[in-house]
Structure 1
Amino acid sequence: MKPLLLATTMFVAIATPAFAQQEPAPEASQAGSDGTEIIVTGQKASRTLQDTPTSVGVTTAEDIADRNLTSVYDALAQTANVAVTADKQSFSIRGIDAFNVSGAGDGALASVYLDGAALPMRAVRAGPLELFDIAQVEVYRGPQSTLQGRNSLAGAVIIRTADPAYEWSGRARAQITDADGGRRFAAAIGGPIVDDQFAFRIAGEIGRSDGLNYGATIHDDYDPRQFETIRAKLMATPTALPGLKLIAGFLHDRHAWGGNTYVEFEAPYTPWDRVTLMNTPAHETVKSDIATLDASYEIDRHLTLSSVTSYGQVRYDYSYDTDWSASAIGTGHAYEPTDTFSQEVRLNFDFARLQGLIGGYYSNEDGRGSYSEGTQRIVFSTIGLDRQLVAPPPAGFGLPQATANYVMDLYPGRGVQIDSLLVTPKQTRNKALFGDATWEFVDGLKLHAGFRWDHEKQDQALDQTVTLAQPLPDPASVPIAALRPLVAGINQIILGQVSSANNVQPPSTVSYSAFLPKLGLTWQATRDVALSATVQRGYRSGGSGTNTARARYFTYDPEYTWNYEFALRTEWFDHRLTLNANLFRIDWSDQQVRVNLTPGNNYDSETVNAGTSRLWGFEVEALGRPTRTLTLNAGVGFTRTKFTSFNVDTGTQIFVATGNEFANAPRWTLNGGATWKAESGLFANINANYRSAAYQDALVQSSREVDARALVNAKLGWQGEHFGAFVFANNLFDARYVQNSFVNGDGRLLGVVGDPRVVGLSFEGRF
C-alpha cells in the first residue's frame, strides 16, 4: 500500500491548502484542466465524467498540448491501471494485455476506435495514433463488450479527432529532438464553407527520426522511423433539414520504421549501447486509409437517430532477419492486407427519468490476401529431436548425451534450413443487437441495464508449402559406421515432418453467438457524491488457427468474464477538485490456452479452452484547479492477476502455471502532474508516471524481468496569443529499464530497453 499512501499524501498535502485559500471557482460538473466540463462519448451517448460509473480515464486536447503528448501510447502511459510496453507497440488495461494473455487466441482483447472506426491489430501496434489535432482520448477500463462488441474484454480506447467548426481556426507546430534526431512538422486549419451550414477541417503531420538503435553489422541506424498523416473532415448542418448533422472524414496514414527494437545484452555490448548485430535491415510499414460518415438526426427533443459508417484499408508489410544474428542464415517477409467495413445504427432516447439507446451493428473484416514467406533454420530443440535422441525406446533412440551431441553436430547449427510459404486467408463477419438504459425510478436512485447479442462468423483457409533449403548429411559419409543408420533415420524423420507440413486446406467456417448482459445501480448520496455498483459479462470470440507442423487449422470456443465493479464519484471545493475511484473484480473462464500435441515440437501446437483466472484491484484519480493558473492531476491503479487453473504443455516441458500472474501486468501504476500558466504567458508542466515490475512470461516466473520504472517529463516555455516556444524533456532523469529479454537460437541474450532521455524544442502557432 506504500505507493497509494505516497501518492495520496503528496496530492492532499499540495492541493488542500491551495484549495482552501482560493475564492470559489464557477460551478462546472467535472471541470477539466481548463475549467470546462469533460464530456465522454465512448458509450454511444454524451455524458459528463461524473455521470459515468464505468471506469474511464480521459486525456483532453489541452492535456495533450500541456504535456507534449505525441502518440496515443503517451496518453495511455499516463492513465491509471494502464501499462505501455517500452517499444510502444502494445499495452495492458488492468493487467490484461491488449492482444494476448495466455499465449493463445486470435482476436484482440482491447478495442481501439478512431472516429468510430475500429482499428485492426496492425494499425494499433503502429498506425494512425499520432495526437496532433486530437480532441480527446478516452480509455475505458474493464469489459466493454455490451456496447463495443468483439475484442473489448479488457477495455476500449476511443480516439476522437477535432471536428470542423463555423469559426476560422488554425494551428501549426514544429519540433526537433536530440537523441533520436527527430523532426516533426504539423498544421491544421478549418472554418466555414457556408456559414452555419457547411464547414471543414484539414490536419496533417510529417515526422522523421534516425531511431535509437545502431546496426553494428550493417554500419547504419537500425530503426529509422518516418510517418505521414493527413485527416480531412467535412461537416454539414443544412438549414433545410433542421436537426440533421453529418460529419464525413477521411484519414491517410503511413508509418514505416526499422521494424526491430531488440538489442544485444551481452559483452562486448551492454543493453544501453543499443546495438544489434542482425545483418539484414528490417523494414516494417503500415499504411492506413479510413473513411467515416457520422450522421445524426434529432427527431425531437427526446429522440435522436444516429448512423456511423466506416470503411478502412490497412496494409502491413514486414521484412526481417529470421535468425536475429550477423549470419546470413535466413530472412522473412509477411504481408497482411485488411479491409474493414462497419455499419452501426442506433436510436438514443432521453426522457425525464429514462435515458438510453438501442441499436444494431455489422462489420466485415477481410484479410484474405495475407501470406508469409521466408528462409529460416529450424533447430532440433524446437521440433523435439534433441529430446527424442536421448529418450529411452520406444519413444526415443536412447543415446548417451555425448553421442546425441555428436550426431546433432553433423547438421549445421544443429538444425535444418527450410523455405516456407504460408497463405492464410481469413474473413470475419460480425453482427449484433445492443441496448443500454438508465432509469431513475426514485429520486437519487438510478438503475442501469444493458445487453448485447453478438454473432460472429469466421472463414479461413490454409495453403502451406515447405521445402528443404540445404542438403541433409549423407549417412554413408558418417565416420562412425554404427551411427549411419541413425543418421538415415533422423533424415527420414525430418523429411517426414517437411512432407506433413505441406498441405492445402479448403475454406472452413466457424461461428459463435453470445448474450452479454449488464446490470447496475447508482445512488446519488448528495449533489456531489455518487456510489454505483455494476455487474456485466465480457467476452472474446472463439476462432481458428494453424497447426504449422500438421498443416491444418483448428477451432476453439469463446472465453468469458464476469466483471463486478463499485464506483465512487465525488466533487469538492465548489467543483474545483474531483476525486473518483473504482473497485473491481473479474472472473475469467474458458480461457484460450496454447498446448502442444507432440512433446518437444513447438510447431505442433493448437489452442484449447483450458484456463481460468481472477483479477481484482482499483483506480483512484484526482483532478483539481486550486488557482486559475495552476492545475494538478494524480492517479493510482492497483491490479492483482492470478491464474486459478493454467496447465500448459509447451513442447519442451509441462508447466503447472496455476497461481502465476499475467505477463506484462504490473501491480502498481502511478501518475501525476502539475501545469502552471501565468497571465504573462510563462508556462511550465511537469508530469511523471510509474509502473511496478512485472513478469514477461505467464509460465516461467522466477523473477520479474520487466523492470519497474519511473519516468519524469517536463515542458517549459512561453505561450502568447498566437505564438509559443518551448523546451521539453521526456525521461528527464534518463531512467534505464528492461522491457523483456530472451535467448536467441545461437545462445545470445537479446532484449528491449526503454527510451533514454530525449530533449527537444517545440515552436507552436495558432489563430
Structure 2
Amino acid sequence: MTAEPVAPIEPSDVGEIIVTGEKSNRTVQNTPASVAVTTSETITEQNLLSAYDVLERTPNLAVNGSRTTFSIRGIGAFNVSGSGDGVLASVYLDGAVLPRTALSAGPLDLYDISQIEVFRGPQSTVQGRNALAGAVVIRTADPSYDWTGRVRLLMTDKDGQRRAGVAIGGPIVDGQVAFRLAGEIARSDGLVYNATRHEDADRRAAETLRAKLLLTPDALPGLRIVATYMHDRHRRGTNWTQFDGGYTLGDRVTTEDAPDVLTVKSNIGTLDVSYDLGRGLTLSSVTNYSDIGSLNTYDQDRNATPGQEGRIVDPSKTFQQELRLNVKRSWVQGLIGAYYLRDDNRDYFFQARQLLGLRRLGVDQVLLGMGLPQSAVDAVLNLYGGAVPISNNLAQPRLTTNYAGFADLTFPLTSRLRLTAGLRYDHESQNRGATQSVVIAAPLPNPAIVPTALGPIVTQLNALLEATAAAATTAQAVRTVTYQAWLPKAGVTYDVARDVSLSLTAQRGYRAGGSGLNQQRGAYYEYNPEYTWNYELALRSQWLDRKLTMNANVYYIDWRDQQVSVQLTPGSAFDTQVINAGKSRLYGAELELSGRPTRRLNLFMGAGYSNTRFENPSSSAGALFQFVPGNEFASAPHWTLSGGATWQHPTGFFANLNANYRSAFYQDIVDQSYRDIHGRTLVNAKIGWQGKNFGAFVVASNIFNVTKATQSFVDLDGRTRGVVTEPRILGLSFEGKF
C-alpha cells in the first residue's frame, strides 16, 4: 500500500505561530529547534512587563535574582565558570544584538512588542558568535495599513510602580507608506530601603520611544522596507539586601553609604529591506547601528563604612550588516547569507577606591610559607587592619570585527522525509589593550613602631605590597587576536503522520577566544575558542483537530576546550588567568503543551529538565580557581515548570491565572555541600473586564507572598547579602485599543 503524502504545515495556515529567529519564516511545528514563542496576546493576557517575565515562565530558563542575566539549559548567558569574555547567549531586539550591560538595565520592556522567541540550544550556524547556549529574539510591532492604537495605565502598590504607554499607527499613503509610534514612561519607588542613607535604594525609571516606518511602493512590487529607530533610558538602583546583622529577608534593607545606580542609554536604528525576486527567491538586507552606553556607580563594600566607591563606564557602538537570499522552491528551502559586525568598546573604564583584603591577596599563605606560626601571621595582618587601601584605575579598550558566511538549507527527499544541512564560517578579530594603575592609598605600618619581633616581617611585607602594586601597574599595547571556526549543522525530519513529525539534529556551538590582564601581575594572556556538539531529538505534534499541541525536545551536549580560570598563586584571588582546560556534559528535555478545550478557555503547560556536570579538566596548568569535576553548573536548576489558563466570557469578563516553578540549585561550582537557593513557586493573576475598545483589570504577582532568597553570598565584610523574591504586589491596569 502506498503511503499517503504528508504535507508540512504552511505559515499561511490560520492560527499558526511563525518563527522568525532562524531568519527563514517557519511555523513552530516546522521548526525542529527548541523554541518557545510568546506572542503579544500572551504578553497582554499575563501582564508581562519585561523580557525577564517571559524568561521566568519558559521551561529550562532560569533568571538570576537581580534580573541582570539568565541561563538556558543550565548555561549562564555570560559564562558557567566565571571565565571567558564573549557571552554564551545573545538577546536581539529587531535584529540588533544587545551588549551585556543592556541586560541589566536596558530596552527589555514589553510594551507594543509583537513576539519573543527563546531558542534553547546553540544557534551558532545561523546567529554566529555568542549563541552557544541559545538566543532570545524580540520583535516589536510593525506598522500596518489599518489604523490601530493602544494605551495602558498601570499602577501597583508596594513598589509604587507607575506606567503609562501609548502606541498608534496607520497609513500615510494607503498601501504604500505606513507608520507606528510607541512610547512608555515608567517609574517605581522599589522595594529596598537604605538604612544608612534613609531613602529608597532601588528606585527605577525608564523612558522608551520607538518610531517605525513601512514602505511597500507600488512602483516596485515585492519591495518591503521597515525602518526603526528607538531611544531608551533605564535607571535602576540596587536590590541587594542584608540577610543578617539584625535584618531578615522580609526587611529588604541595605546599608550602603553610597548609592548604587546603573544607568543605560540606548539608541538603536535598523533598516530591514526585502525584495521578492520571484520564483521562490527573496533578497534581504538588515542594517543596524546601536549606541548603547552604561554608567554604574556603586559602593565597593556595600556597607556603611565610607570611602570605598567604584565607577564603571561601559559604552558600546555596534554596526551590523547582513545580506540573505531566502529560497523556497519545491526541491530546497532555506537561506544563504553573509554577515559583518564591528563592535567598538574602546572607551571602557573602571575606577575604584577600596580596601583590599590581605588574605584575598594570599599574603597569609606567603607568611606561613616563610615559616611563621599562625599566631604571628594573625598579629601581622592585624597591624594592617587585615586590608590595604588602594586606588585602582583600569582602561580596557576593545574593538571586535566579525564577518561570516552561512547557509541553512532543507531538502525534501520524499513526501515524508526532509534533510537539513547548515554551515557557517566565522572569522573574528579583537584589538585589545589594557592600562592599569594601582596605588597604595594610605601609609603602611611603620616597622620602627611595631613590636620588635614583627618589625623585620613588616618591612618585608611592605616591600612585597609595594612591589605587587608596582607590578600591577602596567600599560599593555593594543594587540590583535584572531579566531576562526567552521560551524556545521545536519538534521533529518520524518513526518510520522499528518501533524506529527520527528527530527534529529546535530550542530556545533562556538564561543570565540579572547585575552585578558592578570591584575596582580599586570601580565597579558590569551586563550582559545571553546566548542560544543549538540545532539537533539524533536517531536512536533498536533492532535484533536489541532486543538491540542504537544511539542518536545531531548538533547545531549558535549562541551570541550572550556574557558576556565586558574590560580597561579595559591590563595590569591587576583593572580588568575583564563585557559582552555574544561570539559562538561549536559542533557535534558523540554515539553510544551497548549490547548483550547472550548472557545473561551486556553490552557498551556511547560516543563524542562536539565542535568549539568563538569568533567575532568584536560590541563593541570595552575590550580583550578573555580572548577570541580563532578559538580554541577551554578544557577542550573534541574526542573522548571510553568502553566496557566485564560478564560474570557462573551460578556467581557476575563481571567488569567498562571504559575511557574523552579527547583533548588547551587550558586557556586566549588562548594556544593547543599543547594543554597531553594525551590520556589510563584502564582500570578490578571482578572477584569475587556470590552471592544477598553479594559480594566486587577493584576497580582506572587499571590501567596512567597519570601525566599533568589541570590545570596557572604560579602567581603563577612555579612550575608542577596536578593529576595518580590512580595505580593497588587495593581490596577487600564487598557484601551482600537
TM-score (norm 2): 0.97
Q: How does 1:436-475 map to 2 (within 5 A)?
A: 436-475=408-447
Deviation at 1:36, TM superposition (A): 1.9
Total equivalences in the alignment:
732
Question: C-alpha separation between the residues in 1 aligned to 2:370 and 2:398?
Answer: 41
State the distance in 1 between where 2:320 and 2:307 align: 43
> Structure 2 matches for 1:44-123, cutoff 5 A?
44-123=23-102
Q: Could you tell me which residue of structure 1 aligns to residue 516 of structure 2?
A: 545
> Which one of 149, 153, 161 corresponds to residue 174 of structure 1?
153
Mapped contact 1:593–1:648 kept (Cα < 8 A): no
Answer yes or no: is 1:491 the counterpart of 2:491.
no
Q: Structure 2: how far apart are the matches of 1:680 and 1:340?
A: 50
Which residue identity does 1:374 align to in structure 2? A
Paired residue secondary structure (2:599): coil
Per-residue deviation, 1:506: 0.8
Q: Is the 8 A contact 1:225 1:256 kept in 2?
A: yes
Q: Does the 8 Å CA contact 2:570/2:623 hold for their aligned counterparts? A: yes
The 1:31–1:574 alpha-carbon spacing in structure 2 relative to 1, beyond 3 Å, is farther
Q: Distance in 1 between matches of 2:98 and 2:535?
A: 28
CA distance in 1 between partners of 2:677 and 2:724 (Å): 10
CA contact (8 A) 1:440 1:447 kept: yes
User: CA offset at residue 35 of structure 1?
Assistant: 7.1
1:524 to 495, 501, 514: 495
Among candidates 189, 199, 203, match of residue 220 of structure 1: 199
Q: Distance in 2 between matches of 1:656 and 1:77?
A: 27
Q: Is 2:701 aligned against 1:730?
A: yes
Identify the match of residue 344 of structure 1 among 310, 322, 326. 322
Structure 2 match to 1:251: 230
Q: Is the 8 A contact 2:567 2:625 kept in 1?
A: no
Change (3 A) 1:651 1:229: farther
- Name the counterpart of 1:278: 256
Within-5 A mapping of 1:390-409: 390=368, 396-409=369-382
Scaled by the length of structure 1, the TM-score of the pair is 0.94
Spell out the pairing of 1:10-409 with structure 2 (5 A cutoff): 36-258=15-237, 260-390=238-368, 396-409=369-382
Partner of 2:3: none
Q: Which moved more, 1:597-606 or 1:736-745?
A: 736-745
The 1:651–1:710 alpha-carbon spacing in structure 2 relative to 1, beyond 3 Å, is farther
Contact 2:581–2:617 (CA under 8 A) maintained in structure 1: yes
User: Which whole-Å CA distance do the structure 2 matches of 1:751 and 1:651 have between them?
Assistant: 31
Answer yes or no: is the 8 Å Cα contact 1:568–1:581 preserved in 2: yes
Measured in 1, the distance between the counterparts of 2:613 and 2:352 equals: 38
**Could you tell me how far 1:650 is from its partner in structure 2?**
12
Question: Aligned equivalents of 2:20 and 2:261: distance in 1?
Answer: 37
Q: Deviations over 1:545-569 (max 9, x none)?
A: 1211122321100000000000011
Q: Distance in 2 between matches of 1:483 and 1:357?
A: 73
Q: Counterpart of 2:360 in 1: which secondary structure?
A: helix
What is the alpha-carbon distance in structure 1 between the residues aligned to residue 103 and residue 333 of structure 2? 33
Asked whether 1:585 is paired with 2:556, we answer yes
**Which stretch shifts more, 338-347 or 378-387?**
378-387
**Residues in 2 aligned to 1:212 and 1:656: alpha-carbon distance in whole angstroms:** 35
Cα distance between partner residues in 1 of 2:499 and 2:737: 37
Retained in 2: the 8 A contact 1:629–1:676? yes
Matched, 1:668 2:644: no
Deviations 1:429-455 (A, max 9, x none): 100000011111111000001010000
1:515 matched to 2:486? The reply is yes
The CA distance in 2 between the partners of 1:586 and 1:741, in whole Å, is 29
CA change 1:336–1:653 in 2 (3 A) is closer
Residue 303 of structure 2 aligns to a residue in which SS? coil
The residue type equivalent to 1:500 in the other structure is A
Asked if structure 1 preserves the Cα contact closer than 8 Å seen for 2:168 and 2:181, the reply is: yes
Question: What's the counterpart of residue 501 of structure 1?
Answer: 472
Unpaired runs of 5+ residues, structure 1, are 1-26, 391-395
Local SS of the residue matching 2:377:
helix
* Equivalent residue in structure 2 for 1:421, among 381, 393, 402: 393
Is 2:690 aligned against 1:711? no
In structure 1, give the amino acid aligned to 2:375.
Answer: A
Q: Is the 8 A contact 1:531 1:566 kept in 2?
A: yes
- SS of the equivalent of 1:218 reads coil
Cα distance in 1 between the residues matched to 2:459 and 2:641: 60
For 1:229 and 1:593, locate their aligned partners in 2 and report how far apart those are by CA, in whole Å: 38
Secondary structure in structure 1 of the residue aligned to 2:245: coil
- Residue 558, structure 1, aligned to residue 548, structure 2: no
1:617 lines up with 2:585 in the alignment: no
Question: Helix, strand or coil for the counterpart of 1:172?
Answer: strand
Q: CA deviation at 1:649?
A: 9.5
Q: Higher mean Cα deviation, 567-576 or 742-751?
A: 742-751
Decide whether the 8 Å contact of 2:82 with 2:626 is kept in 1: no
Quote the sequence identity (%): 53
- Assess if the C-alpha contact under 8 Å between 2:93 and 2:139 holds in 1: yes
> How many Å apart are 1:301 and its aligned residue?
3.5
1:688 CA displacement: 0.5
The answer to whether the Cα contact below 8 Å between 1:246 and 1:295 also exists between their aligned partners in 2 is yes
Residue 630 of structure 2 corresponds to 659
Q: 2-side partners of 1:256 and 1:536: how far apart? A: 39
CA contact (8 A) 2:425 2:486 kept: yes
Q: Deviations over 1:242-296 (max 9, x none)?
A: 11000000010100011x2221111311122111111111111011100000000
Contact 1:31 1:575 in 2 (8 A): no
Flag as ranges the 4+ runs of structure 1 deviating above 6 A: 647-656
Letter in 2 for 1:614: R
Partner of 2:603: 632
The 8 Å contact of residues 9 and 499 in structure 2, kept in 1 or not, is answered as: no
User: Matched residue of 1:625: which SS?
Assistant: strand
Contact 2:81 2:626 in 1 (8 A): no
Question: What one-letter code is carried by the residue in structure 2 that aligns with 1:305?
Answer: L
Aligned partners of 2:592 and 2:607 also within 8 Å: yes
User: Cα RMSD (Å) of the superposition?
Assistant: 1.8
1: CA distance between counterparts of 2:271 and 2:300?
A: 42
1:299 counterpart letter in structure 2: L
- The residue that corresponds to 1:3 in the other structure is none
- Return the alpha-carbon distance in structure 2 between the equivalents of residues 122 and 552 of structure 1: 26
| Secondary structure of residue in 2 paired with 1:299 | strand
Whole-angstrom CA distance in 2 between matches of 1:137 and 1:655: 34
Contact 1:596 1:649 in 2 (8 A): no
AA matched with 1:420: N
Q: State the alpha-carbon separation in 2 of the partners of residues 253 and 744 from structure 1.
A: 33
1:693 maps to a residue whose letter is: A
Provide Cα deviations, 1:281-314, integer angstroms capped at 9, x if missing partner: 1111011100000000001141000000000001
* Deviations 1:146-166 (CA, angstroms, capped at 9, x unpaired): 000000000011100000000
Say whether the 8 Å CA contact 1:634–1:673 is kept in structure 2.
yes
Stretches of structure 2 lacking an aligned partner (at least 5 in a row): 1-6
* Alpha carbons 2:437, 2:473 under 8 Å: kept: yes
Is contact 1:28–1:35 with CA below 8 Å preserved after alignment?
A: no
Task: String of CA shifts for 1:335-354, please: whole Å, max 9, x gaps.
Answer: 01100000000101111131
AA at the equivalent of 1:360: A
Counterparts of 2:654 and 2:500, CA distance in 1? 33
